[in-house]
Amino acid sequence: MAVLGSGSWGTTFAKVLADAAPDTDVMLWSRRPEVAEEISVHHRNSRYLGDTLLPGNVSASAVIDAVLADSDLVVLAVPAQTLRAQLPAWRPLIPPHAVVVSLMKGLEVGTDARMSEVIAEELALPPERIAVLSGPNLAMEIAREEPTASVVACPDHDTATWIAAACTASYFRPYTSTDVIGVEIGGIVKNVIALAVGICEGRRMGDNTKASVITRGLAETTRLAVALGGRPETMAGLAGMGDLIATCSSALSRNHTAGHLLGQGLTLDQVTVRMNQTAEGIKSAQAVLDSATKLGVDMPITASVVAVLQGRLSVNDLGPRLLARNLKPEGDHAP
């Protein structure tokens, strides 16, 4: 099994795969040789996972050919905006039978493409060989082996079931789904909503505000997912509501943290300097809004976050702007 990207989630997921199948070799690809060396020699990735000890069947290399050779499962865990540029070099090295799984929670800026779509376009794989995994999956908690559930989605149910079996560990329980669109959109938009919640907390607003933004955030996420062809029930599950709750509640979330810093008055440049890990919502917010605009879907929280990120809206005006909108029935599911 190959995991490309040895940041916090790629490394943690390699541990999950290795714990699920102790007799199987799991190889990580690292951009930086020193990270690969630390993983292979010391069984640690200290920059991302502190003193977490990785299983003995996890190793790493900065040489992509060695990592992809003979792999049955190829897991992708690099920042979403960097994926497309890397796939052409990987394409000829991916074994013809291998299944590719995306762990990424971003939408491509400029194309509004989901990561499974980028993979299909650049690797020319059929849908039954592309899957996504998403859910309330804060890497550090999983690295500490705290019980966690997730969702593996693939149009082919048998493939989803095979991947789920491959990543079932004593502390990690994947469910299966065929709703790739819903599972991906849940993971992408919750990052934008977590930015909004973080901003409110940074402005010292309390739990009523937080619950209101989370709940209405789920409503606008569901509108977009359904307009794109996803299923509303997916949004009520782990990849929708579950991930939204985890990300909007946790101090471990990079998106939540970035929002908090913006709410405290830091500029986006200052926040970017402080973040040493990927907060996908910062870039994906614009792509989410572009996608919604094309489909005629109203996403007021996302639009407000984009306005804050672009410096067109002050964090003080975000709440008043959302509350000044026209009144409507709560269950109004019109786009």
Ligand X SMILES: NC(=O)c1ccc[n+]([C@@H]2O[C@H](COP(=O)([O-])OP(=O)(O)OC[C@H]3O[C@@H](n4cnc5c(N)ncnc54)[C@H](O)[C@@H]3O)[C@@H](O)[C@H]2O)c1
The DSSP 8-state label assigned to residue 2 in this structure reads E
Distance (Å, whole) CA 288 – CA 196: 14
Question: Taking CB within 5 to 8 Å according to partner kind, which of ligand X, ligand G3P, none is near residue 104?
Answer: ligand X
Contacts with ligand G3P by CB under 6 A: the residue count is 13
Nearest CB to ligand G3P, comparing residues 75 and 94: 75
Question: Which of the listed partners (ligand X, ligand G3P, none) does 78 bind, with a CB threshold of 5 to 8 Å by partner kind?
Answer: ligand X
In angstroms, the Cα distances linking 157 to 136, 176, 197 are 21, 8, 35
Of the candidate residues 87, 154, 246, 303, the single one contacting ligand G3P (CB under 6 A): 246
Does residue 5 touch ligand X according to CB under 6 A?
yes
Could you tell me the two tokens for 172?
Answer: 């990690």
Q: Which of 104, 243, 259, 297 contacts ligand G3P by CB under 6 A?
A: 243
Question: Which residues form the catalytic set?
Answer: 190
Looking at 73-81, 117-125, 157-165, 288-296, which segment touches ligand X (CB under 6 A)? 73-81
Binding of ligand X by 78 (CB under 6 A): yes
> Does residue 130 contact residue 100 with C-beta atoms inside 8 Å?
yes
Which residue, 59 or 191, is less far from ligand G3P as judged by CB?
191
Close Cβ partners of 108 (under 8 Å, ≥ 6 residues apart): 80, 81, 83, 84, 114, 115, 118, 287
- State how far the Cα of 229 lies from the Cα of 244, in Å rounded to an integer: 20
Nearer to ligand G3P, 26 or 151 (CB): 151
Residues near ligand G3P (CB under 6 A) are 105, 136-138, 191, 194, 243, 246-247, 253-256
